[in-house]
Amino acid sequence: MADLEDYRKEIDNIDKELAILFEKRMNMVLKVAEYKKENNIEIFHRNREDMVLEKAIKNLQNKNYSDEIVKFFNVVMEIGKGLQRRMIEDVKKLSEIAVKKSEIDKNKKIGFPGVNGSFTEEAAIKFFGDNSNRISYEGFDDVFKAIGLGQVEYGIVPIENSSTGAISENYDLLRNYGFYIVGEECIRIDQNLVGIKGTKVEEITEIYSHPQGIEQSSDFLKKHQHWKMIPFHNTATSAKLIKDLSDTTKAAIASKRAAKIYGLEIIKECINNQKDNYTRFIIISKKLNIVQNSNKVSVMFSLENEAGTLYRLLRHFAENNINMIKIESRPMKDSSWKYFLYVDFEGDIESEEVISALKLIERNSAYFKLLGAYEKRIN
């Protein structure tokens, strides 16, 4: 009859086989990375990952292990993506980064989600100028894909709103694609109820807008609970749809600029809950670009589910007299109670205090990445 030591020896043999197979898999991952680099293909491929997980479950004889094998392969694929990024994007450790400051080339193509008249386009114009070369895409993910494929040099997406908080999807996309933050812009957001000429409040039955537009105007909308809320891609896209439908029973929540572009009337202006309603947008790129007047730094690192981990990591900011502006946590995929922490703080990336704090965090985190150093924009 086998005893505990026999079981442990068998596990050791299996672990040896796993190590060999893991090395073979990583060798293939590097070949895939080389192909992607030569053919300008993005690293992150959601459909491919879903296929890998489906096949892994299918190959199991005992389906009771389905949840466990999904977690196992998610970790393996996350490691593989990190390996690909180091090859394709030349990702280096903080200690190896030579800070080279250069200005953003505002003549390059910029991708933004939505259509003309969107708040994101307004932020793009404010940052890059009226004559910037802007290309619209349907959704946030499409902007990230366009950067990965080299269709545009930069992208601009919202990252947080002063009344409704973080845009979680864009934090996740930033990590999945491995891109950098090279700038930010902040604009005031005034939401308005808009419709075709002749639309009356008492006749409206349906409201179209981005979920953020609906959420930011929730107090006003509660007064009209018979209205049906229909989430749409974008506030400006919603305005365009109302124009195309030409139906006085339908209205949109959008900006005054969008209403003007699509020939709509302002039925009720400034319906957002908070008078001072601002959205912060980030400028993203495949390349780390640190501008001359950078005074804000963004980093991302893993947070393990261990007592005191958060304190041990964040105390490095306090000990180096660094002012943290924003902390956002996002759960690791299929890893219960483990998180990626995004931190924005004030400081010069070349200062001794910042370098000291970041090196200590990098040393004590399983995963660490400098997301960017750029100029802070004031409302």
DSSP 3-49: -HHHHHHHHHHHHHHHHHHHHHHHHHHHHHHHHHHHTT--S--HHHH
Domain assignment of residue 323, yes or no = yes
User: Does residue 172 share a domain with residue 100?
Assistant: yes
Other beta carbons less than 10 A from residue 305's beta carbon:
11
User: Does residue 213 share a domain with residue 79?
Assistant: no
User: Does residue 157 share a domain with residue 282?
Assistant: yes
Domain assignment of residue 273, yes or no = no
**Structure tokens belonging to residue 7:** 């079981």
Confidence of residue 75 (pLDDT cuts 50, 70, 90): confident
Confidence of residue 379 (pLDDT cuts 50, 70, 90): low
User: Does residue 296 share a domain with residue 179?
Assistant: yes
- Comparing C-alpha atoms, which of 236, 286, 214, 212 is closest to residue 124? 236
User: Does residue 206 share a domain with residue 183?
Assistant: no
Q: What's the mean pLDDT in 207-226?
A: 95
Q: 109, exposed or middle or buried, with CB in 10 Å at 0-12, 13-18, 19+?
A: middle
Query: Among 268, 303, 327, where does a domain finish?
Result: 268
Question: What would the pLDDT profile of 24-36 be if each residue is shown by its tens digit?
Answer: 998 998 888 888 7
Range of the domain at 230: 192-268
User: Does residue 99 share a domain with residue 119?
Assistant: yes
Assign 253 to helix, strand or coil.
strand
Domain assignment of residue 175, yes or no = yes
Active site amino acids: 279, 281
Query: Among 88, 114, 139, where does a domain finish?
Result: 88
Assign 312 to helix, strand or coil.
helix
Question: What would the pLDDT profile of 168-200 be if each residue is shown by its tens digit?
Answer: 999 999 998 989 999 999 999 999 999 999 999
Q: In the chain, count of helices (H) and strands (E)?
A: 12, 15
Sign of CA dihedral 42, 43, 48, 50: negative
DSSP 201-226: GGG--EEEE-HHHHHHTHHHHGGGTT
| Alpha helices (runs of H) in 60-196, residue ranges in sequence order | 66-88, 119-128, 140-148, 168-177
Assign 173 to helix, strand or coil.
helix
Query: Among 88, 105, 134, where does a domain finish?
Result: 88
